[in-house]
Amino acid sequence: MAAILSDNPLDNDGPDLVINESRSRETSYGTSSLGHPSVVDGKECIKARFVVGFMGFLGLALVYAMRVNLSVAIVAMVNNTNQPSDINVTGPCRDPGPKLSPSPLTGQGEFDWDARTQGIILGSFFYGYVLTQVPGGRLAEQYGAKKIFGWGIFITAIFTLLSPPAARMGEGVFIFVRVLEGLGEGVTFPSMVAMLARWVPPLERNTFAAAVYSGSNFGTIIAMPLSGYLASVEWMGGWPLAFYVFGGLGVIWCVVWWQIIFDSPLTHPRISPQERDYILASLGPDNAQNKDDGDFPWVDIFCCLPFWAIMITQCGMAWAFYTQLTEMPTYMDHILHFSLEANAILTSIPYLTSWISSLCFCRLADWLIAKEYLSPVASMKIFNSLASVVPSLGFIGAALAGCDRQLVMVIISFTGTFVGAQYAGNQMNHIALSPRYAGTMYGMTNGVANLCGFLAPYTIGSIISNHETVGRWQVVFFLAAAVNIITNLIYVILGSAKEQPFNHPNTNPKPNFNSEIDEQTEPLLGVSEVLHR
């Protein structure tokens, strides 16, 4: 059935907007069709939604650059010549020789911060980051994702620019500024989910999500070596440039964002009528609305098992991510005796391979769904499993490889490639369950996942207990693999891509937790039933 649209898209507020009903299936994304809507997309080379995606990519690249630059700059900021070491390292791995050549980043820095103080400074960002996850998503749904995403990056950029003078005023002031920077960045990811829910047709979601959210990997790849270079130059003291450059770019990005980006196709003054009608027909009338001013269905969401499945698998992936991010470099340094240069390369390789692979995996997922070889929920569970199980096998392989340094390098680099498959898995599942409330739901799951991730370093510290052996590190890696695989199994069993009733508040019945359990945990007769639920 062809879509029926008036000349003014704002007049199409309900049932007049109809899409290809004959090909819709219960497992489709939201109220849209697995097939293409009968409204034809525009022929422009540069579509309005592509501009939204590109600016989102750059924005997330910048916020990640502003997040990780301190990890490199702090080496030049701190006086490392008098730092005591109370770590006892024992193990069978032979030290191949000197690991460190003289570097302009090490030695006489401005600040006498011990290891504990440095840890507090590095972690202070996340105290603010977690707090604004849920508010960021909800504010984007109520007031528009353009404002919230833009202001989030602007606040992050301003406090990045203030970081050098704050550090010189004292470590307490610096920690406070980092917390405020985290508060600003915390709204960015949930608000971008809310933006994509209004702009991206269902059959493009996986590819679009990979393209936009891979900005975080791109920002990390660019920021780490560039921050190291900036910190090594003599002009303006070196290390402050790592904050001034990325903070300044963030402010410039905000000016462009506020000029050319709009909350939805309905409010964009320059979008072509063909592209606008195509997006609206793909999303359906309820999901294409600009803002949501109604009450948030807290009870319904907390009674939704697929929502819990997303949260649980994100917790497992966060545990594995923080284990690799914060602990793998220590293992490679203290146990395997990698040089500083090799350690830095290994740290960046998984981000590079994940960035590239995410585009490939998500393009493949969209193609499989468009051809109806897989249902959306089957695709999400398969690619989420790839992103969970293969990196977990990498942890196990690295643990069993023992002192074979080259084998560990190959395992970590190869298995890290599959992390990018998560963007075709749980990352866009929120929009499938409820396009209307996807931003807030993402904030809820991402906030809890980061809290779970924070527990990983503390748990690992209690296992290692300042006495590092290969055996204790094997326990660390086996634990990360087990947590990641088990949480993914829960997602495979309970996950769903069906649009939930609470997405339509005017017709939503009272929540019934028992009925949700009955629907989602019916007898599992085989793999097909689990994948296509």
Q: Give the model confidence (pLDDT) of 202-212 as tens digits.
A: 878 778 888 89
Which pLDDT value is given to residue 110? 76
DSSP code for 17? -
Beta bridge partners of 88: 467
Q: Please, how many CA atoms are within 13 Å of residue 246, restricted to the half-sphere of its CB?
A: 35
Q: Which residues 6+ apart lie within 8 Å of 307 measured at CB?
A: 301, 433, 441, 445
Q: What are phi and psi of 498, to 5 degrees?
A: -75, 135
- pLDDT, one tens digit per residue, over 45-98 is 788 889 999 999 999 999 989 988 887 777 777 765 555 455 455 556 665 555
Supply the DSSP string of 430-468, one letter for each residue. HHHH-STTHHHHHHHHHHHHHHHHHHHHHHHHHHHTTEE
Q: Which residues of the chain have pLDDT under 70?
A: 1-42, 79-109, 115, 285-294, 326, 333, 338-345, 466, 506-533
Residue 487 pLDDT: 96
**Which residues on adjacent β-strands are paired with residue 111?**
78
Structure token pair of residue 99: 């690991």
Which amino acid, one-letter code, is at 453? G
pLDDT value of residue 336: 75
Quick one: tokens of 358? Answer: 């995410």
Q: Is 295 exposed, middle or buried (0-12, 13-18, 19+ CB in 10 A)?
A: exposed
| DSSP H or E run through 529 | helix 527-531
Residue 468 phi, psi (nearest 5): -90, 125
